């Protein structure tokens, strides 16, 4: 006996908000049996799980949030078999902001179609298919307008010499044309460093990093783990004492950079940051940090059609 979920073009299909999902549950029954029912469910959930050690003890932490659970009864209680039985079904994904499918180091966001032949007082026959849901990040939406405009930043610090006396100041001015991007674009960072001290600035760099935070929420305590990925980096030589220099740092964002969409998620969040640093080997650095937004649809441009990587 077997139960199979059949979805057309299953390996290559990606679903979006409002998509209609058509399929068939195929049951092969070699002899007549009594079934409580044949049912199929569309489920969406986000889940995290990890272990933490405390001396000789290990604790397992987990959390699950279910946000879609639709069920269809395809066959009510009756006797079935022998033979092959096919039950077509249709689900429609909700409209609105759906969470993107996501598989991470501590958990993920998954959508599945689960079928079951419920047999009383005996093991059930089941099958499951995971589907990919893709909700693109559109940078043209109003909530991203603050990232369209140019941005300027300026920081400075007093610098000490080898004898611990203040020898002057260092100022770093940073200019960005915008702060929202799609994979394949190039981020240009204009940096001007004025060194009015007796100490060299050893290096000037710009980095784009993304941090994905996975959370476990409970009544007693909340836990989280971070997964940090470096997306792009540009490094240049520094500025000698009593000199100034202007840099045009270019950070190409790789085409295969995965754009995540956790809008509405309870267990996952992301932050993409640009950090520009004037590095001193023997002193605290001068740094500018600002948040960036990565999207699928650029401002005024076509879609960057990239489903999530499973």
The CATH number given to whatever domain includes residue 243 is 2.60.40.640
Residues 170 and 271 in one domain: yes
End residue of a domain, out of 82, 113, 133: 133
Residues 117 and 196 in one domain: no
- Using the predicted structure, report yes or no on whether residue 169 has a pLDDT greater than 60: yes
pTM: 0.87
Is residue 82 situated within a structural domain? yes
Closest CA to 110 of 130, 136, 90, 137: 130
Q: Span 215-222, mean pLDDT?
A: 85
Closest CA to 19 of 80, 74, 93, 89: 93
What pLDDT was estimated at residue 32? 92
Residues 45 and 164 in one domain: no
66 to 63, 71, 205, 266, 305: CA distances (angstroms): 10, 14, 43, 10, 27
d(CA 90, CA 253): 39
Is residue 257 situated within a structural domain? yes
Mean pLDDT of the chain: 93
What pLDDT was estimated at residue 304? 52
Instruction: Place 269 in a pLDDT band, splitting at 50, 70 and 90.
Output: very high
| Total domains in the fold of the chain | 2
For the segment 72-112, what is each residue's pLDDT rounded down to a tens digit?
999 999 999 899 999 999 999 998 778 999 999 999 999 99
d(CA 29, CA 51): 42
Is residue 159 situated within a structural domain? yes
End residue of a domain, out of 105, 133, 161: 133
Q: For the chain, what percent of residues have pLDDT higher than 90?
A: 84
What pLDDT was estimated at residue 283? 86
In this structure, what token pair is assigned to residue 205? 């760099």
Instruction: Place 162 in a pLDDT band, splitting at 50, 70 and 90.
Output: low
> Do residues 50 and 106 lie in contact, with contact meaning Cβ atoms separated by under 8 Å?
yes
Residues 275 and 146 in one domain: yes
> Do residues 128 and 113 lie in contact, with contact meaning Cβ atoms separated by under 8 Å?
yes
- Using the predicted structure, report yes or no on whether residue 163 has a pLDDT greater than 80: no
> Do residues 135 and 101 lie in contact, with contact meaning Cβ atoms separated by under 8 Å?
no
Residues 61 and 186 in one domain: no
Residues 66 and 202 in one domain: no
Is residue 303 situated within a structural domain? no
Q: Span 242-269, mean pLDDT?
A: 96
Is residue 302 situated within a structural domain? no
Residues 122 and 160 in one domain: no
Pairing mode, if any, of strands 180-181 and 286-294? parallel
d(CA 2, CA 4): 7
- Using the predicted structure, report yes or no on whether residue 44 has a pLDDT greater than 90: yes
Q: Which domain holds residue 149?
A: 142-294
Q: Span 195-218, mean pLDDT?
A: 96
Residues 52 and 82 in one domain: yes
103 to 59, 137, 308, 310: CA distances (angstroms): 23, 18, 9, 6
């Amino acid at each position: 006996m077997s139960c199979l979920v059949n979805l057309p073009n299953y390996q290559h299909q990606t679903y979006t908000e409002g998509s209609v999902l058509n399929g068939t549950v195929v049951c092969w029954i070699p002899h007549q049996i009594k079934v409580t029912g044949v049912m199929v469910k569309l489920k969406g959930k986000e889940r995290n799980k990890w272990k933490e050690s405390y001396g000789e003890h290990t604790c397992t932490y987990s959390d699950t949030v279910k946000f879609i659970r639709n069920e269809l009864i395809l066959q009510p209680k009756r006797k079935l078999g022998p033979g092959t039985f096919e039950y077509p079904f249709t689900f429609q994904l909700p409209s609105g902001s759906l969470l993107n499918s996501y598989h991470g180091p501590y958990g993920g966001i998954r959508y599945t179609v689960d079928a079951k032949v419920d047999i009383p007082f005996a093991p059930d026959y089941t099958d499951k298919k995971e589907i990919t849901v893709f909700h693109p990040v559109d940078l043209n939406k109003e909530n991203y307008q603050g990232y369209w405009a140019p941005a300027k930043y300026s920081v400075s610090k007093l610098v000490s010499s080898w004898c611990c006396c203040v020898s002057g100041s260092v100022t770093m001015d940073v200019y960005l044309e915008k702060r929202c991007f799609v994979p394949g674009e190039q981020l240009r960072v204009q940096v001007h460093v004025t060194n009015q001290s007796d100490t060299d600035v050893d290096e000037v760099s710009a980095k784009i990093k993304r941090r994905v935070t996975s959370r476990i929420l409970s009544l007693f305590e909340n836990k989280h783990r971070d997964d940090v990925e470096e997306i792009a980096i540009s490094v240049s030589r520094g500025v000698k004492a009593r000199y100034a220099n202007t840099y045009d740092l270019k950070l190409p964002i790789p085409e295969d950079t995965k754009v995540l969409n956790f809008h509405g998620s309870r267990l996952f969040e992301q932050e993409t940051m640009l950090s520009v640093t004037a590095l001193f080997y023997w002193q605290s650095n001068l740094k500018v940090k600002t948040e960036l937004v990565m999207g699928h649809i650029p401002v005024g441009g076509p879609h960057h059609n990239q489903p999530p990587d499973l």
